[in-house]
Amino acid sequence: MGTAYTPGLAVSAHALIRKTRRLPLKGTVLVQEGQPVTPDTVVARAEIPGLMQTVRVAEQLGVQPDELPRFLKVKVGDQVQQGTLLAESRGLFGLFRTEVKSPIEGTVELIS
């Protein structure tokens, strides 16, 4: 059986991971800062009215999340239709273009 090598991958029985998590809407944090949690610990809860659709725009454009604002064509609160252009990236000399369009009709609630 073959094996796969993943550069930088480390396995540890004990590790401290710091990760920022943001709720898409106002909600309640259920744990205290510094409190140990496990992978199945619910850390926060929010009531999301209606259907929420996550669009991974930075991933689709192939850019880092902190670079995303310069590519966005919409802002929080904008109403969009299915097919509305959300973001666009122009490649080398403007010859290549990548577009991300809204998969559904709705309102842009959060950009993070």
- Beta-carbon-side half-sphere exposure of residue 81 (alpha carbons within 13 Å): 1
pLDDT for the residue numbered 12: 78
**C-alpha angle 30/32/33, rounded to 5°?**
130
Distance (Å, whole) CA 8 – CA 28: 35
- Spans of the chain below 70 pLDDT: 1-7
pLDDT for the residue numbered 4: 59
Looking up tokens 């259920």 gives: 30
